[in-house]
Amino acid sequence: MQNPYSQPGAAPMSSMNHGGHEMFDSHEILSSFISLLDQYVIFEQFIQDQELKRILYHQHQFITDLYNITVEAFATGKKPSHPTQTYNMDQNNQVIYGLVKTAPRKPMMSIREISDQGISAYMLGLVKSTASLLAMASLEITNPVLRRMMADSVPNFIEMGYELFLYQNKRHFYQVPQLTQQDMAQLQQSYAPSPYLV
């Protein structure tokens, strides 16, 4: 008997609610969530600053919930028990501009050298790479529920990354240099509005 799925135009059964490429993307996303959560558990024991520890707990809880509902939606192809939530950070939006002199950085030679500066940078790297992965995968996922969940999660990971940036910035771990006022003004005025194509 011929497989009806191999025939062009054949209607798929409800259990076949994911494309092949999407299966690999979903596997990569779920594996990335696990890796991120595992690394947060490892980082927790080394954090000295209570504010960074609160950020880690808050993000870990949020990502764990996202992981659980993603597993649910991936397995069923249907809406999970609750929709994706919105991540709300605790930081204010105050950015410190300019550079201050700090000690030069270098790679660690021992685990005893681990610091909150390094841990917050590792966390930021993980969150940024997850945001990129979710954005790329959501463009190719065919299941509408899973696609929407992944697309809706991108702004949440952007918010987590911004939270970590702000944490680092106020401690001068992540400094933000500025151009001169004249150079900034010149760049800001180097574009003009475009007329619409008629």
pLDDT computed for residue 26 by the predictor: 86
Q: Give CA separation, 72 vs 29, 86, 159, in Å.
A: 14, 18, 24
Q: What is the pLDDT averaged over residues 156-183?
A: 96
State CA 175 to chain mean position distance: 21
Whether 15 shows a pLDDT value over 70: the answer reads no
Q: Which residues contact 171 (CB under 8 A, 6 or more apart)?
A: 116, 117
Domain of 89 in residue numbering reads as: 19-100+115-185
Position 74 in a domain: yes
Whether 95 shows a pLDDT value over 60: the answer reads yes
Whether 197 shows a pLDDT value over 80: the answer reads yes
pLDDT computed for residue 90 by the predictor: 83
CATH number of domain containing 125: 1.20.1260.10
First-to-last CA distance in the chain?
55
Position 178 in a domain: yes
Structure tokens at 170: 């106020």
Contact indicator for 43, 124 with CB cutoff of 8 Å: no
Structural domains in the chain (count) = 1
Query: How sure is the predictor about 12, in pLDDT bands with cuts at 50, 70 and 90?
Result: very low
Position 7 in a domain: no
Helices 50-76 and 116-138, axial angle in degrees (round to 10): 20
Position 13 in a domain: no
Structure tokens at 102: 């700090």
pLDDT computed for residue 89 by the predictor: 93
> Which of 4-18, 23-37, 117-131, 144-158 has the least mean pLDDT?
4-18
Position 126 in a domain: yes
Over residues 45-68, the pLDDT tens digits come to: 999 999 999 999 999 999 999 999
pTM of the model: 0.87
pLDDT computed for residue 19 by the predictor: 66
Q: How much is the mean pLDDT over the chain?
A: 90
Whether 4 shows a pLDDT value over 50: the answer reads no
Contact indicator for 66, 159 with CB cutoff of 8 Å: no
Position 8 in a domain: no
